[in-house]
Structure 1
Amino acid sequence: MTIPRILLVSGSTREASTNTAALRTVAADAGSDFVADRYEGLLDLPAFVPGADPEPPVVEALHRRLAEVDAVLFCTPEYAGMIPGSLKNLLEWTVGNADLSDKPVAYVNVAYEGRGDAAVATLRTVLGYVGAELVEAACGRITVLQSAVGPDGFVADAEARARLNTAARTLAEHAARPAEPATAVRLDT
């Protein structure tokens, strides 16, 4: 059995954000049951141009990264009542290549209660549009306050850290399952 690979995508462009700290922590704690790599090219992506031919090299690199992984875990702040434009831009680049179609994905919302709900709603809408397989059991709110992030940039709160790792492991376990065989449908009856 191969070890599942998860790409971690923070919707925040701030290196010191709680969203990025949460994913940095997941990557550090991955252990031997899954491999987690952070996507760090959000700021490098140009504005989405439908039908760009050829696509910019950084976009081609994004396609390759997504093709190499078994699942994607998102963690994003809410800006102006939705996901940040930079994350929406990344997702728009995936539409034409169907990079996320049928790929297991999940999200964690690290904002405190009552915050970030519009970002989650927007992310769910876009992920549905691109045909991603949303793994509900791995999604949820895991509050990470700035005070819970240590000077090393990792989540220091033991409970939040354990819940982040549980979400990532749940996604990895789902991604490791063999695909269900397609059921044949007879049309000539």
Structure 2
Amino acid sequence: MRVLAISGSLRQGSSNTAALEALARLAPDGMRVLVYHDIARLPPYNPDDDVEDQPKPELVVTFRAIVGACDAIVIATPEYAHGVPGMFKNALDWLVASETFAGKRVVLINTSPRAFHAQANLREILATMAARLLADAFITLPLTSKTITCEEIVADPTCSRRLGHVLDALREAVQES
């Protein structure tokens, strides 16, 4: 089973990225979690550049292929001005016009209890993109430090238990289909 993990944060030492790296570290045998690190390198989305007969930027082709090959997606993103970060939204925009995203199972992870506006915004965007939101598996991790490592998250019993819940829910959802 292949799970794609996408962090909406570009920040070095991001708790969102650390949470996804911890998720990858906790993945059981038979499940591979790939943390995607290139959203900042994707070019700005322009529908004129996304015409069927014209070549797409190589990074976009690769990103879409990775999304198409995964069984599920886990997203962790910070909240900026009650919404998702612009570069992360840009990455989603590149997926809207492709057929690779619709129907994907998606779980959201919050690393801050204050990020509920971004999660609501993201849920609306993902529903519009025809994602299969596994809302029962959405979690909030009690991370209070802006600088926390993957290792610290894995070592924390509450965090590792909640991430394990996400992994179990993903496996169950994929096996049911």
TM-score if structure 1 supplies the norm length?
0.85
Aligned-partner Cα distance in 2 for 1:154–1:8: 19
Q: Tell me which of 24, 27, 31 is aligned to 1:30.
A: 27
List alignment gaps of at least 5 residues for structure 1: 179-189
Displacement of 1:96 in angstroms is 0.8
Aligned-partner Cα distance in 2 for 1:40–1:32: 23
Displacement of 1:97 in angstroms is 0.7
Displacement of 1:140 in angstroms is 2.6
Over alpha carbons, which structure has the higher Rg? 1
TM-score if structure 2 supplies the norm length?
0.90
Aligned-partner Cα distance in 2 for 1:14–1:35: 24
Specify the alignment match of 1:89 in structure 2. Answer: 90
Aligned-partner Cα distance in 1 for 2:167–2:74: 7
Aligned-partner Cα distance in 2 for 1:166–1:148: 24
Specify the alignment match of 1:158 in structure 2. Answer: 157
State, as a whole percentage, how many aligned pairs show the same letter: 31
1:9 maps to 2:10: no
Displacement of 1:34 in angstroms is 1.6
Specify the alignment match of 2:44 in structure 1. Answer: 47
The 5 A counterparts of 1:23-172 are: 23-52=20-49, 53-111=54-112, 113=113, 115-146=114-145, 149-150=148-149, 154-155=152-153, 156-172=155-171
Aligned length: 172
Conserved in 1, the CA contact under 8 Å of 2:14 and 2:146? Answer: no
Conserved in 1, the CA contact under 8 Å of 2:72 and 2:170? Answer: yes
Conserved in 2, the CA contact under 8 Å of 1:106 and 1:136? Answer: yes
Conserved in 2, the CA contact under 8 Å of 1:45 and 1:58? Answer: yes
Displacement of 1:23 in angstroms is 0.3
Q: The residue matched to 1:149 in structure 2 has which SS?
A: coil
Aligned-partner Cα distance in 2 for 1:73–1:147: 20
Displacement of 1:148 in angstroms is 8.2
1:117-165 CA distance string (max 9 Å, x none): 1110111011011111101121132222227834x65513221122112
Aligned-partner Cα distance in 1 for 2:116–2:70: 27
Aligned-partner Cα distance in 1 for 2:168–2:85: 26
Displacement of 1:6 in angstroms is 0.5
